[in-house]
Structure 1
Amino acid sequence: MTDVSDSAEPKKSKKGLLLKILLGVAMLGAGGGGAVGLMAAGIVGGGHGDAVPEGPGLVRKGAEDPYLVVGEKKDAPEVVHGDGGSKYRTAYFNFTDSFTSNLKDSPALVQVSLTASTQRDGRVLMWLGEHELALRSRVLVELADTDEASINSDTGRTRLQQRLTGAINHELERLEGFGGVDNVLFTQIIVQ
C-alpha cells in the first residue's frame, strides 16, 4: 500500500502546483488589465506630463475671436452671418503680391493672386502674415511644378489649390506647429 500512496501524493502536489501557477498568472493578467484600463480612463496616472498646447480653435459665427487681428475698418458695420452653411466663420488672408512662375516643361508663364481661408482663430492669420516670405517660396515651388495642361483645366486648378493648401499648411506646421489653412483661393490667374 505504501507504493500506491507514494505515487498518488506527487500527482496531487503537481496538480496543486499547476493550479497555483495558473491562478497567479490569471491574477497578474487581471491586475495588469485593470491598471491599463484605469490609466486609459484617466483615473490613475494622469496629469503628470506636460500639457500639450492646443492649436488655433474653430471660431463659431458671431463668437468673439480671442486672437482677432484688428484691421483698419473701425467704422465698418458689424457682420451679420446667415443661418445656413457652416456654423464657423471664415476669415481670409490676401497675399500682398501676385505670384509669377514658369510652368513645368513649358515656355509658358503663370501669374496668380491668392487668398488663404481659415475657420480657425486669428493666430492662423497672424502666422500667414508673419511667415509670408517663406510661404511665397513654397507657393512658387508648387507653381513651377505645375504643367500647362493642368493650369488650363478646372480639374488641374482644383488639384493645384489642394497642393497649395497642403504646402502652406506644411510650412506653417514646420514654423509654428500648426497649419490651419482650409483652402487657397485664386483671385486671379493669367497664363501666357
Structure 2
Amino acid sequence: MSDANTDAPKKKGKILKIILLVLGFLLFLGGGFAGGFYYAGTQISPSEEVLRLVERTNGDAAPEGGEAGAEGEPTVDENGNPIKMVKDIPETPVFQTSYYEFPDTLTTNLRGSRRFLQVGIGMSTQYDAKVIANVETHAMAIRSDFLAVISGFSEEDVAGMEGRDRLAEAMKAAVNKRLEQLEGFGGIENVFFPSFVLQ
C-alpha cells in the first residue's frame, strides 16, 4: 500500500513536467509568431525593395522620408512604401503590313517529274496600298511569271521547309521584277503559301 502512495506523487510530477514543457513550447512559439508579425509589418517586401532600388538608381525616386518627386508628387506613402510611378511609353512608328492573296490556286508540273504542285499564293508589303493595287492590276502577268518559276523547280527542290523558302524567294524576285518593269517599283517583301499540295 505504501508503494501505491509513493507512485502517485511521481506520476503527478511527470504529468506536471509534461504540461509545463507543452505550455513553455506554446509560449515560445507564440512569441516567435508575434515577433515575426511585428517585424514583417515594419519591413517592405523584397519586390517593393527591388522596385525602390531600381527607381533610386534611375533617378526617378526621391530619397526615403516622403520627399516629393520631380513633379511635386510624393514618391513614398505614409507607411514608407514606395509609390509606383507610371511612365509614358514613347511611341515608335509601327509600319502596317498589307497582305494580298490570289483568289485561285496555281497548278503546274514540276521539272523532271510526273507530279504537279498546287499552291495558294499570298504576299505582303509594308509600303502603301499602291503596291497591292499594282499586283491586282497586273495579276495575269504575275501569275504567268509564277508558273514559269514553279515549273523550274524539281520535286527535290521544293521538299521541306528550306525548299519552300527558296521557292518563295524566287517568286518574290519574279513579282518584284515584273512590277519594276511595269510600274517602276516592286515593293513585295514576302511571298507565302496558304496551301501547298504536291500530287
User: Deviations along 1:24-80, whole A, 9 cap, x unmatched?
Assistant: xxxxxxxxxxxxxxxxxxxxxxxxxxxxxxxxxxxxxxxxxxxxxxxxxxxxxxxxx
Q: Which amino acid aligns with 1:141?
A: A
Between the aligned partners of 1:123 and 1:178, the Cα distance in structure 2 is 10
- How much is the aligned-residue C-alpha RMSD, in angstroms? 1.9
Where does residue 178 of structure 2 map in the other structure?
171
Where does residue 123 of structure 1 map in the other structure?
130
Is residue 99 from structure 1 mapped to residue 106 from structure 2 by the alignment? yes
Where does residue 168 of structure 2 map in the other structure?
161
Between the aligned partners of 2:126 and 2:141, the Cα distance in structure 1 is 22
| Matched ranges for 1:1-192 at <5 A | 87-192=94-199
Between the aligned partners of 2:159 and 2:195, the Cα distance in structure 1 is 13
User: Deviations along 1:59-111, whole A, 9 cap, x unmatched?
Assistant: xxxxxxxxxxxxxxxxxxxxxxxx9x983110001112100000011111000
Seq. identity, %? 36
Between the aligned partners of 2:195 and 2:118, the Cα distance in structure 1 is 8
Structure 1 residues 112 and 86 mapped into 2: Cα distance closer, same or farther (>3 Å)?
farther
Q: Which amino acid aligns with 2:141?
A: A
Between the aligned partners of 1:87 and 1:164, the Cα distance in structure 2 is 27
Runs of 4+ in 1 over 6 A off after TM superposition: none
TM value normalised by structure 1:
0.55
If asked which structure has higher relative contact order (CA below 8 Å, sep 6+), I would say 1
- What stretches of structure 1 of length at least 5 have no aligned partner? 1-82
Structure 1 residues 100 and 86 mapped into 2: Cα distance closer, same or farther (>3 Å)?
farther
User: Deviations along 1:9-28, whole A, 9 cap, x unmatched?
Assistant: xxxxxxxxxxxxxxxxxxxx
User: Deviations along 1:106-159, whole A, 9 cap, x unmatched?
Assistant: 111000001110000010010010000000000000000011012122111101
Between the aligned partners of 2:198 and 2:125, the Cα distance in structure 1 is 27
Q: How many residues align?
A: 110
Q: Which amino acid aligns with 2:140?
A: L
Between the aligned partners of 2:103 and 2:128, the Cα distance in structure 1 is 21
Between the aligned partners of 2:119 and 2:195, the Cα distance in structure 1 is 5
TM value normalised by structure 2:
0.53
Where does residue 15 of structure 1 map in the other structure?
none
| SS of 2:170 mapped into structure 1 | helix
| SS of 2:157 mapped into structure 1 | helix
